[in-house]
Amino acid sequence: MQGSVSGRHASPHRGSSVEFAEYRKYVPGDDLRRLDWRAFGRTDRYYVKEFEADTNLRCCVVLDTSGSMAYASKNQMSKIDYGRRIAASLAYLAAQQGDAVGLACVANKLVQNIPPRRSAAHLKVMLDTLEQTQPKGETQLPAILDELAETIRQRALIVVISDFFVEPALLKNSFEHLRFRKHDVAAFHLLDTQELEFSFQRPVRFNDMEGGTHLFVEPSEIADRYHRALQTYLIDMQRIVLESSVDYHRVTTSEAYEHPLMRFLVRRTQSRGVR
Amino acid sequence: MSFLQPWMLIALPLIAAPVIIHLVNQRRFQTVPWAAMMFLLQASKMSSGYSKLRQWLILALRTLAVAALILFTARPLASGLLGLLGNRTDEVAIVLVDRSPSMQQTQPGTGMTKQQSALMQLSSTLATLGVKRVAVFDSYGEKPIELETPEDIATNVGLLPNGATSDLPGLMERALVYIKSNQLASTDVWICSDMRESDWKSRDGRWVAAREGFLNLAQDVRFHILDLSSGSGDNLAIRIVNAKRVEEPSGPELSISFKLQRGSNNRSSEKNEADTIAASGPSIQVPVQIEVGSVRSVLPVDLQSGLAEVNDYRIPLLVEGPAKENDSRESQAGWGALRIPADTNLADNTSYFVFEKPAIRRSIIVSSNPTLIEAIELCTNISPEQSIRVATETVTSSQLDSVDWNAISLVIWHEQLPTDRSLELLANFVSSGGQVLFLPPESPNTTQAFGFQWTTWETVQPTPSDTQPQPLDEPTNEDSQAALLARVQQWRNDSTILSNTLNGAALPVGQIGIKRICRVEGNGTALASINDTTPFLLKMDAAESDTSNAGPNQGVYVCTTTPAQSDSTLAKDGVVMYVAIQRVLAAGAERVGFSKMRTVGESDRKQLELATQEVGDSTVFSNNYVEHTGVYRTPDLLIAQNRTADEDNNAFVQESSMAELFGSLPWSRIESGANANSLVQEIWKWFVIAMLLALVIEAALCIPKRRGASRPLGLTQPT
């Protein structure tokens, strides 16, 4: 992680810290203070000892606040609430370890954009914003991700929390755009159990939560084809995140939100990104 | 198709239930806000024609299942026959059975006769329809055969085949009486027949009475005609035309004439000439077995164009010594049979005959007018055939007691009408088959006999149409007078006495000139008339005449004029008088013969119950001899009974006639298939199968596809 100050995240730059990185042959111009005399005594060669440089984290949480995020099946948390919790938890953790954290609420436009900051007061602003934001409108996630890729100048961890009900091909472009700008991208794909199961029995009139359209269907007639379309979509999503090196987490809202969060943090720890 | 429990059909609207449920279900939809619309839209786009077809199929199958269930509970019956029942079954069914010889034709492929096949089908049908009792009418017996179960129809011995031609109008009348007397509710009348005109007698006046009677019934009566007219046309029939004993110098001989014809038992053969020709078949030689007593011989007969006639075929009779005048009639009589090989109808393969030495045809003339007696004697004393002997005796009414009435065939009465003892003797004579011809006396009194009486003489004035054309040469005075006489304008050539000659020519009745007639009061059938109000020759109706005189061979004729020159030209133009008297004499001679050739049904049942069977169906009980062909011997008679000539007449009742016979009565005709066991069959099981099939297919279509393969990955995390 590149940061402007010393922090708790590994930096791509070598620096002075207690974390040994590697040995390197001495070249003229190197700081003689970094010469490892013990190694010279053993091998009669000049080596420079390099250490990991620690830096701070810039984290930008992108929360999808389109109308579809309001969906909640019976006795389950809505996707927006679920996303709020994950976003808030991440913001809190970042703030606690002195990282800068920002929030972008996305619907058919960039509804809210709070740039990453490290102050404690900033966390409160973020939490208030998360509380007040309401799901509404269509999703323009790919376009806004493209926009964020251009506007976030420093390298950052972009955490996208969304149901990703958009064309996977468009999403792939946006992810690759973010990756091209050297951002680290993580994605929480929120899905409701009912959206996966599609276990309706009686004829249902489905009203689109992101628009005025509606569809009258006999669930038993269409369930099979619904599942096929969903499966195709999920396979495409898997392929896209692999190709785009996105840290992808598929989450159902019936699951406790700590679990996906834990998986996310553990995986980042294993990749030595976080101590 | 019809139903045994048609009231169940009121549930038929229930077949709309699946459709209604479907529509209601569609209206009871829930509205759900939905996020993953993109998948729904994709899924709906993927909806194929098969899916819609499947949906419609499911709906149709559900409807079909409900319909099949309802129809099954209504107990459907196969064949359109029951359409004619109008979904009605009665406790009692009436069956009119045609047991005539033509019904004994074997049905191809079954080995059963038409009658057996029809009775079996009817038995099964009525049992299926739930009929409890059956009343069967056939041509004999006033009372029907009442059967406790329909199954008994096929096995009842009273319904075995017989040799009599059926009398359908008579059966209809009896059925009507039965329905009235038993006060039956709505009834179905089943008629089993092969639709022969000889059985149906479509021109019989009783049809009108029967039809009106049924129409006036309060009950609903419907007729179902089991048509058995179809069948194989390959049938030969033999019929004796004449059999007589002829005395030849070499000894007595039997002269037989018979007819062999290819019968058409198939109704289709009446359709066109080509069929008729085809029915006549190829020329073949038929071995005709002639059985005389215990002696048998075979005569090959060439059958061409379906018909062969053998006339006066002589067979020497084996007798012990020459016949003598005083030999008993029994010893001079004999019987025989003609037989042909078995074919599709065994009932017309045998014809029986009897013969005897011809009896003397004796006539008596009761008159005191010598001129008249002379003219009549000329007619009665000249034998039409050499082998027939005739004799005439002239008596007065006071001498009647001395007459041997058993030897008399004809009485010609030209005196005041008989009274007291004379009338009694004459009535007995008539009732036993004797023939009487009454001629008017010169001064008739008011005596009445045989349902009529003479009134007054009156001169008959010729009409312009009576005027004969004058000869071209000089007319004689006699010719001029003849030209001014009244003529017989109309006569019935279907009557025995004035019928056409054997070659088809009409008798010259119209040439008879009438000068005066004696008016008659009474009811009789005019056989010949001068005009509408002036009869010339009448036959008194037995029913209308004195009931004591009523008999089976009622033969009382009344001529309103005499052969006297002053009255008519009967004697001068004697052909008509001679022929008429000889015909009446021949009819009267029947009563004096020992051997009788009759058709089935002509004999008296009681008379034949005492008979012994010489030849015929040995399984027939004696009380049924009257219905069966064969040769029967009573103490007084030797009787050969054959089927009626109409049985060999292949005419069928026309469609138009059928409609006319039944008029507005509800009736229908059912073509009886030879191989069908029953006219109707319950086919509920097919509806159960249809229902089950519909439900199984519907269930198969409703089973959701295995989702395992197509279920989304769910929470499976990408690696």
Q: With an 8 Å Cβ cutoff, is B708 touching chain A?
A: no
Tokens of B477: 């005075």
pLDDT class of B546 with cuts at 50, 70, 90: very low
Which of these, B197, B589, B150, B232, lies nearest to B406 by C-alpha position? B589
Q: What pLDDT was estimated at residue A222?
A: 84
pLDDT class of B592 with cuts at 50, 70, 90: confident
Tokens of A135: 């799901």
Q: With an 8 Å Cβ cutoff, is B31 touching chain A?
A: yes
pLDDT class of B362 with cuts at 50, 70, 90: confident
Residue B297: pLDDT over 50: yes
CA angle B241, B164, B133 (to 5 degrees): 170
Q: What pLDDT was estimated at residue A10?
A: 58
Answer for the pair B595, B637: CB distance below 8 angstroms, yes or no: yes
pLDDT class of B351 with cuts at 50, 70, 90: very high
Give the helix/strand (H/E) hosting A110.
strand A110-117
Q: What pLDDT was estimated at residue B232?
A: 59
Residue B86: pLDDT over 60: no
Phi, psi (5° rounding) for residue B295?
Answer: -100, 135
Which residue ranges form the domains of chain A, and what is each CATH number? 9-55 (no CATH), 58-270 (3.40.50.410)
Q: Measured between beta carbons, which residues in chain A are less than 8 angstroms from residue B712?
A: 196, 227, 230-231, 234
Answer for the pair A1, A53: CB distance below 8 angstroms, yes or no: no
Answer for the pair A156, A58: CB distance below 8 angstroms, yes or no: yes
Q: What pLDDT was estimated at residue B521?
A: 87
- Contact check, Cβ <8 Å, B712/A249: no
Q: Percentage of residues in chain A with pLDDT exceeding 90? A: 45
- Contact check, Cβ <8 Å, A208/B37: yes
pLDDT class of B481 with cuts at 50, 70, 90: low
Q: For residue range B607-636, what is the model confidence (pLDDT) as tens digits?
A: 788 888 888 888 888 888 888 899 998 887
- The arithmetic mean of pLDDT across residues A139-146, rounded, is 91
pLDDT class of B549 with cuts at 50, 70, 90: very low
Q: What pLDDT was estimated at residue B163?
A: 80
- Contact check, Cβ <8 Å, A228/B43: yes
Cβ pairs A/B, distance under 8 A:
134
Of B30, B41, B705, Cβ closest to residue A204 = B30
- Contact check, Cβ <8 Å, A242/B718: yes
- Contact check, Cβ <8 Å, B37/A209: yes
Q: With an 8 Å Cβ cutoff, is B7 touching chain A?
A: no
Answer for the pair B100, B198: CB distance below 8 angstroms, yes or no: yes
- Contact check, Cβ <8 Å, A221/B35: no
Q: For residue range B396-426, what is the model confidence (pLDDT) as tens digits?
A: 877 788 878 888 888 888 888 888 888 888 8
Q: With an 8 Å Cβ cutoff, is B711 touching chain A?
A: yes
**Which residue from A minimizes the CA distance to B22?**
A203
Q: With an 8 Å Cβ cutoff, is B25 touching chain A?
A: yes
- Contact check, Cβ <8 Å, A71/B26: no
pLDDT class of B672 with cuts at 50, 70, 90: low
- Contact check, Cβ <8 Å, B26/A210: no
Mean pLDDT across chain B: 79
Of A207, A231, A248, Cβ closest to residue B31 = A207
- Contact check, Cβ <8 Å, A250/B718: yes
- The arithmetic mean of pLDDT across residues B590-604, rounded, is 79
Q: For residue range A74-86, what is the model confidence (pLDDT) as tens digits?
A: 888 999 999 999 9
Tokens of B507: 């008798």
Q: Measured between beta carbons, which residues in chain A are less than 8 angstroms from residue B713?
A: 231, 234-235, 238
Interface pTM (ipTM) of the complex? Answer: 0.80
Of A216, A217, A220, Cβ closest to residue B704 = A220
Q: What pLDDT was estimated at residue A102?
A: 92
Q: What pLDDT was estimated at residue A18?
A: 54
Of A165, A202, A255, Cβ closest to residue B38 = A165
Answer for the pair B604, B340: CB distance below 8 angstroms, yes or no: no
Q: For residue range B503-532, what is the model confidence (pLDDT) as tens digits?
A: 777 788 888 888 888 888 888 888 888 887
pLDDT class of B719 with cuts at 50, 70, 90: very low
Q: Measured between beta carbons, which residues in chain B are less than 8 angstroms from residue A64?
A: none
Q: For residue range A153-188, what is the model confidence (pLDDT) as tens digits?
A: 888 899 999 999 998 988 999 999 999 988 889 999
pLDDT class of B271 with cuts at 50, 70, 90: very low
- Contact check, Cβ <8 Å, A205/B31: yes
Mean pLDDT across chain A: 85
pTM comes to 0.55
pLDDT class of A192 with cuts at 50, 70, 90: very high
**Which residue from A minimizes the CA distance to B42?**
A229
Which of B32, B52, B57 is the best mutation test for A, with the most CBs of A within 10 A?
B32
Q: What pLDDT was estimated at residue A274?
A: 43
Residue A108: pLDDT over 50: yes
**Which residue from A minimizes the CA distance to B51?**
A221
- The arithmetic mean of pLDDT across residues B288-301, rounded, is 88
Q: With an 8 Å Cβ cutoff, is B282 touching chain A?
A: no
Q: What is the DSSP string of B402-464?
A: GS-GGGEEEEEEESSPP-HHHHHHHHHHHHTT-EEEE---SS--S-EETTEEEEEEEEPPPPG
- Contact check, Cβ <8 Å, B37/A222: no
Which of B27, B39, B55, B701 is the best mutation test for A, with the most CBs of A within 10 A?
B39
Which of B24, B27, B40, B57 is the best mutation test for A, with the most CBs of A within 10 A?
B40
Q: Measured between beta carbons, which residues in chain A are less than 8 angstroms from residue B714?
A: 196, 252
Residue B173: pLDDT over 80: yes
Local structure of B501: helix, strand or coil: coil
Q: What pLDDT was estimated at residue A230?
A: 92
Whole-number Å distance between alpha carbons of A72 and A70: 6
Q: With an 8 Å Cβ cutoff, is B21 touching chain A?
A: no
Among the ranges given (A221-235, A237-251, B78-92, B580-594), the one the predictor scored with the smallest mean pLDDT: B78-92
Question: If phi over 0 gives left and psi between -120 and 50 gives alpha, with beta otherwise, what is residue A267?
Answer: alpha
Instruction: Name residue A101's beta-bridge partners.
Output: A59, A117
Which residue ranges form the domains of chain B, and what is each CATH number? 2-28+36-78+684-702 (no CATH), 81-229+655-671 (3.40.50.410), 235-320+328-358+640-648 (2.60.40), 361-466+479-589 (3.40.50)
Among the ranges given (A146-150, B73-77, B167-171), the one the predictor scored with the smallest mean pLDDT: B73-77
- Contact check, Cβ <8 Å, A249/B717: yes
pLDDT class of B710 with cuts at 50, 70, 90: very low
pLDDT class of A89 with cuts at 50, 70, 90: very high
pLDDT class of B270 with cuts at 50, 70, 90: very low
Q: How far does the CA of residue A215 sit from the closest CA of chain B (Å)?
A: 8
- Contact check, Cβ <8 Å, A222/B712: no
Of A165, A221, A237, Cβ closest to residue B51 = A221
Residue B82: pLDDT over 80: no
Residue ranges in chain A assigned as alpha helix (H): 37-43, 79-96, 120-132, 141-151, 168-180, 193-197, 219-243, 258-270
Amino acid at B17: A
Residue B378: pLDDT over 70: yes
Which of A225, A241, A245, A264 is the best mutation test for B, with the most CBs of B within 10 A?
A225
Of A195, A202, A235, Cβ closest to residue B36 = A195
Q: What pLDDT was estimated at residue B552?
A: 41
Residue B370: pLDDT over 60: yes
Which of these, B148, B117, B116, lies nearest to B132 by C-alpha position? B148
- The arithmetic mean of pLDDT across residues B166-174, rounded, is 89
Q: Cα separations (Å) of B672 from B81, B678, B686?
A: 10, 9, 23
Q: For residue range A16-70, what is the model confidence (pLDDT) as tens digits?
A: 555 666 788 888 888 888 888 888 999 999 998 876 555 567 899 999 999 999 9
Which of these, B155, B153, B215, lies nearest to B179 by C-alpha position? B215
- Contact check, Cβ <8 Å, B710/A242: no
Q: With an 8 Å Cβ cutoff, is B49 touching chain A?
A: no
